[in-house]
Structure 1
Amino acid sequence: AAVEQAGVKFMMAHQMRHDPANMKMKEIVESGALGRISHMRRRHSIPVLLNEGFINGPTRWHFDPAKNMGMFMDDASHATDFIHWMMGRPVSVMAEIQNTVTDFSPDDTGMAIYRFASGAMVSLLNSSVTLAGENTCEIYGDQGVLIQNHDDSPSTTPPLPPGATLLKMRTRQQPEWRDLGLPIPESHGARIAGVPKPFIECLQHDTEPPVTAHDGRVAVEMVLNAYQSAREGRRVLFA
């Protein structure tokens, strides 16, 4: 509301919407090639709470509850925006968020299950204590499956395993796995390099930003409801 009243351009810097692999996944889902979506799994991780420099340096505000609530709030908000972008706004969530291997941050790991009006479910794993990884997202439909690898910080850190692929797909019509040919990002930074351009273009052409303040609000709502679910030990409905 404040943005609308001020009449200014405002865009959330949610980099996952500008990641080439994620954009391709959204295109495929919207094309109907996977059919009706049953469930999606997203792993969104960083290794920062295992990094002494991060823990003891000027970045330690990240795990100060007065400044940042917790690491699930810090980082999962990017993944919840991705989920909202791909699937719409959820109707409920169940979650567990806590420390698993550290004791200086409000939380280092969180898992949430979001349910949608369509009946689809999405599981989100967000961890700040992941040294390495490979698989980052899976989308399962009744006509096809889409698998994404090497698309977060731990999974883009070299060396990569032999034969690594970024995005592959299998459908009823084409029942063999197909590499969709997208190059694996050279680094985590390469994944998020596309964020500034859309905002600059909306300023140049006086168009609406692709990621609005409302989108940001939904992403935060999804995180806060997950925290509430974990705190109260119950399913939380979205109002």
Structure 2
Amino acid sequence: METIGCLGRGLQDAREEAKGMARILVVDDDAAITDLLSRVLARDGHAVDAANDPVSVLGLALSRYDLILCDVMMPGMDGFELVGRIRHLVDAPILFLTAKVAEEDAVFGLGLGADDYIRKPFGIVELRAKVGAHVRREERVRTHMLALGDVRVDLDARELSAHGSPVPLTPTEYAVCELLAMHRGQVLSREQIRERAFGWASDAGDDAISMHVSNARAKLRRANVDPIETVRGMGYKWQA
């Protein structure tokens, strides 16, 4: 039989594991730059997506990102125009990568809603430090709330809402959803879900885990969201 203490320990371990990790979008028309930044940031534990065409960014689900790095001087649509068009869609910090050094350019970019500048050519140490500082600042703001598209997970109240309305999950269903949401985009096996959400002492079998996931998915679908995906032969993931 599961206990609140057992559930709490498993989820607390998962929360600690997720700290410091961010999903980052890098926008730069220079593939060499996006490749470099992707490798550097991945080594720090971040999940990185790259876009070499700024226009393509307009079609992305931007609410999934915890931070955006955006070049200023790009063909077709420069970084200023792009940020001006997406800022109202993005709650995450936006950092400009730019070779422009004039003060009026910096003021203009910050006025569009950017949070910081990293000047080209930049040092890797400076880049990692600035990204890390903004990620930590966002963690302090969002520590108790996960915002995932139309879904909000209140870690303190242990409640999940969709489109602003609470979803009536049982404590066990909530524990599964919180774990998957904190590892969005990552496939978790039934064994991992049992160990991380319920703790090592749980005797829940694979069938029980599947049932909890199925029940949670049914309630989420009734709330017009469907974020949990079954990965055949592997487990489940919260779609990024």
Fold conserved (TM > 0.5)? no
TM-score where L is the length of structure 1 = 0.27
Q: Structure 1 or 2: larger helix share? A: 2
TM normalised by structure 2 equals 0.27
